[in-house]
Chain A
Amino acid sequence: MKKLIILLAFCLSGQILSAQLVDNLTIGLESNGAWYNDDKKTGSFYDDENQDGDEHIRFNNYLKLDYRFLNNFTASVQLESYEPFALINYSPNYEGTNLGTYSLNYKNSKLDITAGHFYSQFGSGLILRNWEDRQLGINNALLGGKVVYTPVNYVSLTALYGKHRVGFDTSEGEIFGFDSEIDFSSILNFETSALNLGLSYVGRKEATEVVDPEFDELTNAFSGRLDFSSANFYSSVEYVTKGDDALVQIINGNNVFPEDFIKSGNALLVNAGYSKSGFGLDATFRRLENMSFYSDRNTAGNVYFENIVNYVPALTKQHDYLLTNIFVYQPQGVVNFIYDAQIFKVGEIGGQLDLYYKIKKDTPLGGKYGTKVAINASYWAGLKGDISTDFANPDYDMDFFGFGTKYFSDLSLEVRKKWNPKLNSIFYYVNQYANQKEILSIFSAETIKTNIAVAETTYKLGKGKSIRLEAQKMWSNSDDHDWIGGTLEYNFNSKFSIYVNDIYNDGTDKDTEKTHYYNLGGSFTKGATRLGLNYGRQRAGLVCVGGVCRFVPEATGLTVNLSMSF
């Protein structure tokens, strides 16, 4: 490996001689390091994933090279290094230094062919998505081949085959995919409307060790979707059906395939909205039943998001403030029977509503600059129906449009107000309901109801200098949770910023009570290079990026993030 890097560095330096060659090379470098400390308050450092308490300094490094040649070709490699271990809470499969992904792509106006690792998405990803998220340690690229054919500009066809990347290895199971997209508005010459149709197939083939299985090695999933928009109105509907497959249940820490517990799954996603200048309204409905889909059956529900075929994000608002992210909803699309906790989950049903409105200038509420308002409301529940909770003979039959046990609701209001050219404020209010027993599958967990208020103000001091102050407070129905928090940020200019923040629980929750979760740090940015430093104590909880949330343990220490792009 070392030799490879030296060779690479050598090759690169050789190329400096030829500017033409360098022009075609794109380089991205990211390094995330941490120095974990023992914390008097929260205990000494220990990494459960790698069962290590000695390696306090760790780095995750990524070097990505894309080289374009002969007009149509691109060769890409991504080197990754997790030394001496990966940062805590990353999958132990990320180990050492190695080639993470590699690919060769040919692209012209009609064909786009990739051999090697590739990322793909069909529709909203509800049937298939491959993506990378370094912060969360997700990379489920497929290793194989993909062809995208665009015979005319209103038709796109994709065929793919591959195995999932898992750490520096691949999945056992194989994925076959086919997708078609047709833009009818171009065919029918619609002037102000758009109509798009998509049809997809995804197959997952994995041999099983179950003797005389009553399910097939190959599981087939199909999806259809339709998008329609006309003038200010838009809508989309997507339906996925997944064929019969074994339901993996975790019993006493082991994966078990209960005999005769073989079920199909489905998902329905409907979205509609209306928007014009100064006004936007959007409504989403989703129902999921048994939508667990992994390249290796045994990895179902793994916390690292490895082997995952489809993308099922929580459809709730992703809040921006520390206290608004303590109780976070996790989508409940999988069948999960936990007998000792008396929890029987088959899926979820619910939706959310978004409203954006700009109050006009020179009105009593709009003031001199106008006021911007955003409202979000979401509600999620379990499916309603008949569940056989007999341990020896688990089964269920759910209604299509029935709402069962309430899991989560969230109502938020955001008001943005500019007072004068230098001063502006944001007010944020959230009301949450979280049925922690069902969401976390913990029998003793109580249902939490919270009210959270946040106010932030930014004052521009001129010449790029500015100061931002943020105050947060959470009230709850539980004696365990009574939080307060704040942030102070100072920007010297567009390149250099520093901040300090702290959240503190005055409640009696044994994990967090009377503990300051403080952070202080700064960042320096120049062009596409960014260096960030942070020292602080991280609260155990969900860290969310994009649509995915991962649990991270409590940790104290110094972190450094460097990213560069050329």
Chain B
Amino acid sequence: MKNFLLLFLFLFVWNINAQELPNITLKSLDGKSVTTQEISNSENLKVLSFWATWCVPCINELDAISEVYEKWQDETNVEIIAISTDDSRTRQRVKPLVNGKGWDYQVLIDENQDLKRALNITTLPHVVIIKNGEIVYRHSGYTPGGEDELFDVILEHSK
């Protein structure tokens, strides 16, 4: 136990550099394989938003961004990719929910949570911003208005 506490302290003071996105295969809504490498290979800023159909704050966040997404894209060319971590209990709800809500995002499925595990994501929602294949920002949780703060970070990195 004491060692674990020491480790926590040690990790707190450790200043971490930018990391690459791990190479994991995801599925598109029509069953095609998409690798995270394909996502990283782009000059545009990508925001990966990890969510699930049963996670209320996740839906709130994606609903809120959906209302300002057009404006965001006009100003920054940012692309939001909504990564569903739903497993087979709820996966069938992803497609009708996304369309029913009229979300305009690319949606990928991380059905057995391989990418979520590789990125050590323990709570949803969780956003990861990728620039030139590297992770430049992460944030977990969503509170109303959090989308404005996220956009400030996007603006900062899209310069």
B:114-146 near A, CB below 8 Å: 114, 117-123, 126, 137-146
Residues of B within 8 A of A271 (CB): 92
A:60-111 near B, CB below 8 Å: 61, 63-64, 66, 68, 74, 81, 83, 107
Residues of B within 8 A of A130 (CB): 112
- Chain A nearest CB: distance from B148 CB in Å? 7
- Chain A nearest CB: distance from B120 CB in Å? 3
Given contacts A31-B8, A546-B89, contact A194 B32 (CB under 8 A): yes
A:1-40 near B, CB below 8 Å: 2, 5-6, 9, 12-13, 16, 19, 22-23, 26-31
Q: Do B20 and A23 touch across chains, with their CB atoms under 8 A apart?
A: yes
Q: Do A280 and B122 touch across chains, with their CB atoms under 8 A apart?
A: no
Q: Chain B residues in contact with chain A, CB under 8 A?
A: 1, 3-4, 6-8, 10-11, 14, 16-20, 22-23, 30-33, 52, 54, 56, 63, 87-93, 95-102, 111-114, 117-123, 126, 137-146, 148-149
Provide a sorted-by-A list of 29 A–B residue pairs whose CB atoms are within 8 angstroms: A6-B3, A9-B3, A9-B6, A13-B10, A23-B17, A26-B22, A120-B112, A131-B113, A153-B33, A183-B33, A273-B95, A275-B100, A311-B87, A311-B88, A313-B88, A318-B90, A354-B97, A355-B100, A356-B96, A356-B97, A358-B100, A372-B101, A374-B97, A465-B145, A525-B141, A527-B139, A528-B120, A530-B122, A546-B89
Q: Does A277 sit at the interface, judged by CB under 8 A?
A: yes
Interface of A is mostly: strand
Residues of A within 8 A of B137 (CB): 527
Given contacts A27-B120, A563-B123, A566-B14, contact A183 B99 (CB under 8 A): no
- Chain B nearest CB: distance from A495 CB in Å? 8
Q: Does A208 sit at the interface, judged by CB under 8 A?
A: no
Residues of B within 8 A of A74 (CB): 22
Q: How many Å lie between the Cα of A126 and that of B89 in the bound state?
A: 11
Q: Do B31 and A282 touch across chains, with their CB atoms under 8 A apart?
A: no
Q: How many Å lie between the Cα of A464 and that of B22 in the bound state?
A: 32
Residues of B within 8 A of A299 (CB): none
Residue of A nearest to B55 (CB): A320
Query: B120's contact among A28, A194, A229, A527, by CB below 8 Å, is which?
Result: A28
Given contacts A183-B32, A273-B95, A460-B144, contact A494 B149 (CB under 8 A): yes
Given contacts A22-B16, A318-B89, A528-B126, contact A464 B148 (CB under 8 A): yes
Residues of B within 8 A of A494 (CB): 139, 141-143, 145-146, 149
Q: Does A491 sit at the interface, judged by CB under 8 A?
A: yes
Residue of B nearest to A13 (CB): B10
Residue of A nearest to B31 (CB): A196
Residues of A within 8 A of B148 (CB): 464
Residue of B nearest to A272 (CB): B92
Given contacts A31-B4, A546-B87, A565-B120, contact A356 B100 (CB under 8 A): yes
Q: How many Å lie between the Cα of A183 and that of B32 in the bound state?
A: 8
Q: How many Å lie between the Cα of A234 and that of B22 in the bound state?
A: 31
- Chain A nearest CB: distance from B110 CB in Å? 11
The digit string for A552-566, where 1 denotes a CB below 8 A from any CB of B, is 000000000011111
Q: Do A83 and B1 touch across chains, with their CB atoms under 8 A apart?
A: yes
Residues of A within 8 A of B17 (CB): 19, 22-23
Q: Does A446 sit at the interface, judged by CB under 8 A?
A: no
Q: Does A151 sit at the interface, judged by CB under 8 A?
A: no
Q: Does A466 sit at the interface, judged by CB under 8 A?
A: yes
The digit string for A126-163, where 1 denotes a CB below 8 A from any CB of B, is 10011110100000000000000000010010000000
Q: Does A357 sit at the interface, judged by CB under 8 A?
A: yes
Residues of B within 8 A of A194 (CB): 30-32
